[in-house]
Amino acid sequence: MISFPFTIHATEGAARTGVLQTPRGTIRTPAFMPVGTAATVKALTMDQVRATGADVILANTYHLMLRPGGERLQRLGGVHRFGGWSGPILTDSGGFQVWSLAGLRKLTEEGVVFRSHLDGSRHQLTPEHAMWLQAEAIGADIVMQLDECTRFGSPHREAETSMELSLRWARRCRDAFGERPAQTLFGIVQGSVFEDLRKRSAEGLREIGFGGYAIGGLAVGEGHAAMCDTLDVTVPHLPGERPRYLMGVGKPLDLVAGVLRGVDMFDCVLPTRAGRHGQAWTWDGPVNLKNARFAEDQDPLDPQVPCPASQDYSKAYLHHLVKCDEILGQVLLSWHNIAFYQHLMATLRDAIAGGTLHALARDLTTRWAGQASSPRAEPAP
């Protein structure tokens, strides 16, 4: 297994900052990966994404296997060339999206058979096919194992059965992935909110050996506190020298909480999705640009965020664009939100390096209290 060199430059408590070196470029950690679902970070050009400071983006195997399709994507030279992103790309396995297709999927030991949400066509995703799709067709730099995302609220027995299936699939993914000189494979810890299952899952994955370890099955409705508790009982079982990736998370205070607990990588559709719906995250908290109080507000969204969308347009203009359903409103708010997330991550990295992360986290928790839905950013003392 190729493990990309991962160097930790500084730590503060469980938190750490460093760099993950990939053949396509350096990822500064903790890192937030904008989600480029269908080979596009929605509403943005890759140049705009790059200018926010994003080192790596995520692409969704489920969406890409349906459109343009794996074989076509392979003929087109993979998603770097197709989408115009020369830096590293991480792909999910498609498992999470298929899992959300309630009623349209059937799970077996072999894999999952599902019907496309687009045209009802029948598809199969197995550990082996997920490896081919990500490593060969899409050409991802960081490939995720196929897993089953255990539903939140599962009883222990169900969570255990599901976790064990994911672990058997992890082995098959590792075997199918083979030896690749410039790509790496991450395993995914499952086990819902149960400490014993998370521990067994982590140990099973370490035994197989992966280039990095993701924490799956969160951001599925468990809430901020349960997410924190699960991180508290999961992270200690992951190898310290490999990157840790908290999948699908989250709101700004969720990221802070993850960083405090030693997470190195995050992804979430929130900044782009919120941006398309008129919402912006700023250092002063979230704002909804539809609100009439912005109609004559000449201030920019957030002058601290180094992005044209954050600095060069008045809230009055953004309010107008949102009210008029103008595409530019969706573009600028998506762009700002991605830039804010990158600025937040850069600030967290600097804080770890300077030994001020816990003070910053306390400040942000106070500052965003009641505005963000996440009630708890700091780990239990």
> What distance in Å separates the CA atoms of residue 18 and residue 271, rounded to the nearest whole number?
24
- By C-beta, is 121 or 298 nearer to a copy of itself? 298
> Using CB under 8 A, which of 1, 182, 295, 359 touches a copy of itself?
295
> What distance in Å separates the CA atoms of residue 124 and residue 42, rounded to the nearest whole number?
26
Residue 85 interacting with a copy of itself (CB under 8 A): no
Smallest gap, in angstroms, from Cβ of residue 67 to a copy of itself? Answer: 6
* Sign of the alpha-carbon dihedral angle for 326, 331, 334, 340: negative
> What distance in Å separates the CA atoms of residue 336 and residue 12, rounded to the nearest whole number?
29
Smallest gap, in angstroms, from Cβ of residue 82 to a copy of itself? Answer: 6
Tell the residue number behind the tokens 């299936």, with chain if given. Answer: 165
Residue 52 interacting with a copy of itself (CB under 8 A): no
Catalytic residue among 92, 141, 254, 302: 92
> Using CB under 8 A, which of 144, 238, 260, 321 touches a copy of itself?
321
- By C-beta, is 117 or 199 nearer to a copy of itself? 117
How many residues make contact with a copy of itself (CB under 8 A)? 37
Active site residue 297: no
Residue 75 interacting with a copy of itself (CB under 8 A): yes
The DSSP call for residue 380 is P
> Using CB under 8 A, which of 128, 206, 308, 350 touches a copy of itself?
308
> What distance in Å separates the CA atoms of residue 128 and residue 139, rounded to the nearest whole number?
15
- Do the Cβ atoms of 121 and 69 come closer than 8 Å? no
Residue 294 interacting with a copy of itself (CB under 8 A): no
> What distance in Å separates the CA atoms of residue 336 and residue 339, rounded to the nearest whole number?
5
CB count within 10 Å of CB 303 equals 12
Active site residue 92: yes
Which of the residues 114 through 173 are near a copy of itself (CB under 8 A)?
Answer: none
List the structure tokens of 8: 């930790």
Q: Which residues are CB-contacts of 88 (< 8 A; sequence separation ≥ 6)?
A: 22, 24, 25, 27, 55, 56, 141, 142
Residue 293 interacting with a copy of itself (CB under 8 A): no
Binding site for a copy of itself (CB under 8 A): 38-40, 42-45, 47, 67-68, 72, 75-77, 82-84, 276, 295-296, 298, 308, 312-314, 316-317, 320-321, 323-324, 326-328, 330-332
User: Which residue numbers are catalytic?
Assistant: 92, 267
